[in-house]
Structure 1
Amino acid sequence: MAGYRDLLRTQGVGRIIAAQLTARFPSGMTSLAILLHVEHATGSYGAAGLVLAAASVGQAVAGPITSRWMGLWGMRRVLTLTTLVCAAAVAGIALLAVPLPVVMLLGLLAGLSTPPVQPAVRTIYPKMVNSRQLTPLFALDASLQELIWILAPVVVTLVSTQVSTVAGLMLIVVILLAGGAWFILSPELGQVRIPRSRRRFGTVLSRPPVLLATLVGFLLIGACAAVEAGVVAAFGGGGVEAGLVLAVFAIGSLVGGLVSGNIAMGRWAMARRMAIVLVGLILATMFLNVWWISGSLLIAGIGVAPAFAVISAMTTASVKFSDTAEAFGWVNTGQLIGAAAGSAIAGFLIDSAGPGGAYWTAAGFAAAGVLVCVVFVRGFPDLRFRDPSPIPDTAPVATITS
């Protein structure tokens, strides 16, 4: 913890972490708020699912594009535009009484305009700290983001059910604008400029570490989404058990991330961390009572944030600084697709085999993740003895001295 205290004393680090967590807080609220609002307005979970699907497609498509735009037009311009458009789209869903296709279009627009806060802040981090502090900073970031998934669903559910679903969506608009303004006005965004990339859009995926980070992120988030579906199916019948079990999962991730912050990341680091997730999820398939599932997910969670920290570090260390934001955009898109795939497959298996099918789905995704990490281990960078900062966009030029 002394290392984290020193890190947070570094100028601007504590402020930028708090600002980006606030700006990203709506990401843990929006899907649930839309689900509750559209179901309340139409009486159909199917209609709500269509709106959520449109929003997810928009996010997946826009992630790499808006992230790359930050190198063309600057972070503040892109973040301001996307924040305003996203807030307007969410407000439209809340306030307009329109047919379902129009609501789907608004959901698509909200997804397309989701502010690229995560790619922005992970591009800024290497410019704020020295190379020794960068790995712990990624671990701290991956750990603290669990607070979003612990608190945000509780807040939006409470407001939506105790006040109104419109109030739940408008709360998102307020946090989106306030948190976005705090992050956008942070001095660090003015001090860091992303150079214009000279490579074609998508070329960054030709870097094996970026492709592996995207694939492993897809599998890891797919496992987490399947777990969420299984917990809701098993314990979501009106009690508090589902929320408590998911909170335990997130707490395990928070603790794991903080503990792993100063552990060096070799080529096998991702495989080991994914293996912890797999062990916990295999245990979760054995018994479906709340205490066993909670204990199993606590174990699985210990590997989640550390795995995300490796994803961030290997992505940053493997691309030029001008490509960092786009690389993280692709990684985020892989995670969004993984969430959709994990939820969908788990849903089908829950219908046919009960809640246990979701945990088998999660274990399957995690097992595939471990397999990818083992088979392609040489594609993971060894960050134990090298600077994990991005590759400079300019290289030394040889000069003739005699």
Structure 2
Amino acid sequence: MTLRQRASGSAYASVLRIPAARRTLLLGVIIRTPLMAGMVTLTLHVVSHLGMSYSAAGIAAAVVTIASAISGPWRGRLLDRYGLRRTVLPSLFVLTVCWSIAPFVGYWLLLPLVAVAGLFIVPTFSIIRQVMITAVDDERRKTALVLDSIAVELSYMAGPALGVLLATWLGTPFALLICELASVAGGVALWLVNPVLRPAEPDEATAAKVPLRQWLSPTVMLVLAATMATMIVLTGSDVGAIAALRAMGHEPSIGIVLAAWGLGSATGGLIYGAMRRTVSAFTLLGLLGLATMPVALAGGPLAFGVLIFVAGLFCAPTITATIDQLSRAVPTRVRGEAMGWHGSALTGGAALGSPVAGFAIDHAGWPSSFLVVGGFGLLLALLGTVMITVRNRRELGQSARKINIGPGGLPPSATVARNRDCCRCRG
């Protein structure tokens, strides 16, 4: 084993030795896996059990997505203000009622029920990321967030397969009921454990509320834009991969190729988490865009799998870097709301990526989807880097003017002291 491998292994081991981090990662998988399974089962339920079209199923999925995006900042604000238990408890009751009824009603009653469920969804992503950040020191924050990102990848891989399996064995109504109530049960476990979301502040009881306009700085907005762009690249690549393999006549290879993409993401995440150096989210977004565009050159499924594996190396690191950068750019007291906005940016990017890629495929074939979304990611990364650099230089200039730089690059008082010392030296 090399020195680098030992260092990376010790970095992850040091995080996993922390009971709060270990317990939270496990709870995250327990809640998220049935949640991912439920989304797939909902589509199957609308199409097969209710006999509706795929468009109708897409509308139902969109209703859940939009409601969840609206819910993110609102629920995050409640976490900041009232804590985990008081925020999660109403969700557990509302979700139990909604998902106990939704699988057994018609389509037009299903839509408002899933909308309410989406609004009251347990803010799992926000909670888990806050707990992971709080459980470790600053040096290990990136490694902890990578572990959470890999746990999400595992849920994304296992959840849909579990949903399809349950729908095949039990039928979609009971499969949907089991998946969603299992996710609620995970929320109950989270409520019982009640992990620490952020370090306690001495004057927390009397601390004033931090208004949105005070912390939603240009830097924060740029990081959120990078988050949305990342999901546009990833979702667009997902659609492009399906279109490419269908056009090649290799539909059975879709699952294998997407698994290779996920493996690349997990591999890249592990490498990035073990690095001592932190890389800017905009740099990683640019690399993701650059690595995505060559996938358009694939001539067969094997080449496609190799190229998309390489592109996948930058998926998890880019998302992790946006979370890390955002968490450091906002006050601790509003971290829950900021994570909620981050989740909404992810959801918004996912909603935009599919139609953008679909439009490109319809007008110029599947290779164009990778060129368009990859190029968009690269362009936004360059724009964000330039804007951050200009802003940092402007702030540096303002700071220099505030301290009134004097001759020789020192403040006047320092210059006087220096001259006085020199006089002393000369006697």
> TM range, normalised to the smaller chain?
0.7 to 0.9
Query: Which is further off, 351-360 or 111-120?
Result: 351-360
Q: Secondary structure at the match of 1:14?
A: helix
Listed one character per residue, the Cα deviations across residues 246-304 of structure 1 (whole Å, up to 9, x for unaligned) are 111111111111111132455x5323322332233111111252222211111111111
| Letter paired with 1:227 | S
Asked whether 1:171 is paired with 2:178, we answer: yes
Change in 2 beyond 3 A, CA 1:288/1:79: farther
Asked whether 1:362 is paired with 2:373, we answer: yes
Match of 2:65 among 36, 56, 65: 56
**Identity, % of aligned positions:** 22
- Once residues 108 and 187 of structure 1 are traced to their aligned partners in structure 2, the CA distance between those partners, rounded to angstroms, is 27
Residue equivalent to 1:31? 39
Which consecutive unaligned segments of at least 5 residues does structure 1 have? 382-402
Query: Which is further off, 105-114 or 363-372?
Result: 363-372
Residue equivalent to 1:73? 82
Asked whether 1:339 is paired with 2:350, we answer: yes
Change in 2 beyond 3 A, CA 1:358/1:3: same
Listed one character per residue, the Cα deviations across residues 349-394 of structure 1 (whole Å, up to 9, x for unaligned) are 333344334323431332234223422343899xxxxxxxxxxxxx
Change in 2 beyond 3 A, CA 1:191/1:276: closer
Residue equivalent to 2:287? 276
Change in 2 beyond 3 A, CA 1:154/1:362: farther
Match of 1:316 among 295, 315, 327: 327
| Letter paired with 1:253 | S
Contact 1:277 1:299 in 2 (8 A): no
Residue equivalent to 1:254? 266
Residue equivalent to 1:389? none
Q: How does 1:140-151 map to 2 (within 5 A)?
A: 140-151=147-158
Contact 2:223 2:281 in 1 (8 A): no
What TM-score do the two structures reach when normalised by structure 1?
A: 0.85
| Letter paired with 2:165 | L
| Letter paired with 1:121 | I
Residue equivalent to 1:243? 255
Contact 2:30 2:186 in 1 (8 A): yes
- CA offset at residue 337 of structure 1? 0.6
Change in 2 beyond 3 A, CA 1:175/1:233: farther
| Letter paired with 1:276 | L
Listed one character per residue, the Cα deviations across residues 287-330 of structure 1 (whole Å, up to 9, x for unaligned) are 25222221111111111111122112111111111100000111
Change in 2 beyond 3 A, CA 1:293/1:87: farther
Query: Which is further off, 172-181 or 205-214?
Result: 205-214
Contact 1:270 1:373 in 2 (8 A): no
Listed one character per residue, the Cα deviations across residues 150-203 of structure 1 (whole Å, up to 9, x for unaligned) are 111221122224442223312322321222122222252499669588446533
Q: How does 1:210-225 map to 2 (within 5 A)?
A: 210-225=220-235
- Once residues 253 and 204 of structure 1 are traced to their aligned partners in structure 2, the CA distance between those partners, rounded to angstroms, is 35
Contact 1:276 1:302 in 2 (8 A): no
Change in 2 beyond 3 A, CA 1:281/1:238: closer
Match of 1:206 among 211, 216, 234: 216
- CA offset at residue 37 of structure 1? 1.1
Q: Secondary structure at the match of 2:230?
A: helix
Q: How does 1:112-127 map to 2 (within 5 A)?
A: 112-127=119-134
Residue equivalent to 1:229? 239
Contact 2:95 2:121 in 1 (8 A): yes
| CA-based RMSD | 2.6
Q: Secondary structure at the match of 2:122?
A: coil
Contact 1:79 1:115 in 2 (8 A): yes
Change in 2 beyond 3 A, CA 1:106/1:4: same
| Letter paired with 1:368 | L
- Once residues 31 and 361 of structure 1 are traced to their aligned partners in structure 2, the CA distance between those partners, rounded to angstroms, is 27
Query: Which is further off, 65-74 or 214-223?
Result: 65-74
Asked whether 1:158 is paired with 2:165, we answer: yes
- Once residues 128 and 197 of structure 2 are traced to their aligned partners in structure 1, the CA distance between those partners, rounded to angstroms, is 12
| Letter paired with 1:323 | V
| Letter paired with 2:37 | M
Change in 2 beyond 3 A, CA 1:15/1:202: same
- Once residues 199 and 293 of structure 1 are traced to their aligned partners in structure 2, the CA distance between those partners, rounded to angstroms, is 51
Change in 2 beyond 3 A, CA 1:330/1:170: same
Change in 2 beyond 3 A, CA 1:192/1:56: same
- CA offset at residue 141 of structure 1? 1.6
Contact 1:68 1:326 in 2 (8 A): yes
Residue equivalent to 2:118? 111
- Once residues 118 and 391 of structure 2 are traced to their aligned partners in structure 1, the CA distance between those partners, rounded to angstroms, is 31
Residue equivalent to 1:388? none
Q: Secondary structure at the match of 1:376?
A: helix
- Once residues 207 and 315 of structure 1 are traced to their aligned partners in structure 2, the CA distance between those partners, rounded to angstroms, is 11
Q: Secondary structure at the match of 2:281?
A: helix
What TM-score do the two structures reach when normalised by structure 2?
A: 0.81
Contact 1:216 1:372 in 2 (8 A): no
Which consecutive unaligned segments of at least 5 residues does structure 2 have? 1-8, 393-427
Change in 2 beyond 3 A, CA 1:64/1:193: farther
- CA offset at residue 72 of structure 1? 2.5
Contact 1:7 1:137 in 2 (8 A): yes
Contact 2:102 2:113 in 1 (8 A): yes
The structure that is helix-richer by fraction is 2
**How many equivalent residue pairs?**
378
Change in 2 beyond 3 A, CA 1:128/1:48: same
Match of 1:43 among 52, 74, 89: 52
- Once residues 193 and 94 of structure 1 are traced to their aligned partners in structure 2, the CA distance between those partners, rounded to angstroms, is 42
Change in 2 beyond 3 A, CA 1:228/1:93: farther
Contact 1:89 1:107 in 2 (8 A): yes
